[in-house]
Amino acid sequence: MNKTEKFLDTTVKFINLVAKVLPDDVVERLKLLREKETVTMSKAIYDSMFENLEKAVSLDRPICQDTGVIQFFVRVGTKFPLIDEIGDLLYKATLEATEKVPLRHNAVETFVEKNTGTNTGKKVPYIDYEIVPNSSNLEMDVYMAGGGCSLPGRSTVMMPSAGYEGIAGFVAETMVNWGINACPPLVVGVGIGTCVASAAKLAKKASLRRVGSRNPEPKAAEMEEALEKALGNIGIGAQGLPGKSGVLCVNIENMARHPSALGAAVSFGCWAHRRGTISFDKNMNYTLLDHKGVTL
Amino acid sequence: MNKKILTTPITDEDVKSLRIGDIVYLNGTLVTCRDTGHKRRVLSGIVPRTDLKGGAVFHAGPIVKKVGDKWEMVSIGPTTSMRMEKFEKEFMEITGAKLIIGKGGMGEKTVKGCVENKAIHAVFPGGCAVVAAAEVLEITDAEWLDLGMPEAFWVMEVKEFGPLIISIDTEGNNLFENNKAVYKESMEKEMAELSKKLKYMNY
Ligand code: SF4
């Protein structure tokens, strides 16, 4: 196989893996939450979730019937050999994976309002690029954005006087009003920026950061922990039913802002948080960063 | 612990004593019907072959595949029930369905329908599509295929299909509505506490 074929083949297999096996950090946290839960209804749901994860592997089927819109978050080295072809290859990989996994058809062309039946369409699969100078590697997250968990996402710009407590309130309200239908326990990604767009993008990236990781800025990390605790105490359990285990994690990503604007956004991930990170070297040898011990 | 199992056709007696939060399982016939199916049944008067008196209805759009001349269930999970709020009450009245299964709560109109028709709404854990598919013994009929795979009226035999958590009972109790009120109250308390910690703005 040449480099192009190797990249394509590996990416298709990786999409297949992400649809069927949750990343290590998510599974580990789900186990902890399951142990902590005391309410019968919520416990019964955790039992089903774990049974479902086992059956997805033994029957070789996607964890959830909604395999989402396929999204790639690419960090590409300027010297990566396939830098000019990535977009085309990820498009092809999505087409192929749709057949092979199989994935549900989740791309509806807007205005035409027709399902393309291929999981591809205008700007779909969604690809986000970051350039890494002086590197010949590529690292990327693959994420399956289900409809249920995309639905409650929100972005806004507040007056700075609203403060960080204003951001916390915005996140909590969104979770209680809409997030509870997004199959909790939830990954809560919070973005703090200067406009709706920058905040929303950071919120999305926050939701893709590993469960258990912390923002390097001490105050932001403190807010992550405090908000995680507060949201956990609201009394929401699995599937939005009463319980203690409705929050997988709170991750915050931040940037500098305009003196008179405080952008805030929240992006949720459901319990079936189908995210994976893979890296390729210049010879297209891969490493799986979130699925230890798995070979494609 | 003994599993509480409902078997179709379900009677008034079967559901009368069930209360929100109870967990039950289903044996017998289960059909899928969602947005367009509800609309068709209620507005057009087109009647499916399968009698729904005492029946169980699942708000779900499955992935199925055809093997020979039989349909096989690959993956099936609940979809948001609230989308069927507009037609569910009439649907229950016309069909005599006793058990509605989906995801998340339903509204006041459905609550009324449940009380008047002695019916219940229950939720199946979202995202547990492989578990659900494994509890389907076989697909016995497929109607309304013109609506497409997710919207068609799939008729299945199921065994110990669940867990199903009762969210609306025949007395008119509504689990999700009750919960929302409780969550809002405790959210305000938690946020008031948290606010004290988040004074990061300089002045
Ligand atoms: S929110 Fe997630 S787990 Fe629930 S149905 Fe959608 S994709 Fe599946």
Mean pLDDT for back-to-back runs of 10 residues, chain A (296 residues): 97 98 98 96 94 96 93 98 98 96 90 91 98 98 95 96 97 95 96 98 98 98 98 96 96 97 98 98 98 95
**B44 inside 8 A of chain A by CB:** no
pLDDT digits (tens, 9 = 90+) for B10-55: 999 999 999 999 999 999 999 999 999 999 999 998 999 999 999 9
Task: Please state which CATH class domain B5-173 belongs to.
Answer: alpha beta
Chain A window 53-72: which residues touch B at a Cβ cutoff of 8 Å? 55-56, 59, 61-66
Q: How far is the C-alpha of B113 from the C-alpha of B149, rounded, in Å?
A: 28
Q: Write down the ipTM of this complex.
A: 0.91
Which residue's alpha carbon is at the smallest distance from atom 5 of ligand 1? B127
State yes or no: pLDDT of B65 exceeds 90: no
Give the mean pLDDT of chain B.
94
User: Is the previous residue joined to A125 through a cis bond, with omega within 30 degrees of 0?
Assistant: yes
Q: What's the rounded mean pLDDT across residues B88-112?
A: 96
- The pLDDT of B96-113, averaged and rounded, is 96
Share of chain B above pLDDT 90, in %: 88
- What is the pTM for the complete model shown? 0.92
pLDDT at B172 over 80: yes
Closest Cα to residue B56, out of B6, B22, B16?
Answer: B6
Per-domain residue ranges of chain B: 5-173
Question: What is the per-residue pLDDT across B144-171, written as a single tens digit (0 to 9) for each?
Answer: 998 888 789 999 999 999 999 999 999 9
Architecture of domain A3-20+63-146+274-288: 2-Layer Sandwich (3.30)
Closest to B119 in 3D by CA, of B61, B167, B78:
B167
Nearest CA-CA distance, residue A277 and chain B, Å: 22
In three-state secondary structure terms, B33 is: coil
- CB atoms A163 and B134 under 8 Å: no
Q: Supply the pLDDT for residue B151.
A: 85
Q: In which residue ranges of chain A is CATH 3.30.1330 found?
A: 3-20+63-146+274-288
pLDDT of residue A204: 98
State the pLDDT at residue A114.
Answer: 85
| Residues A105, A112: Cα–Cα separation, whole Å | 16
For residue B2, pLDDT over 90 is answered with: no
Gap between the Cα atoms of B187 and B166, Å rounded:
25
Residue nearest to atom 1 of ligand 1 (CA): A148
What pLDDT is stored for residue B1 in this prediction?
A: 59
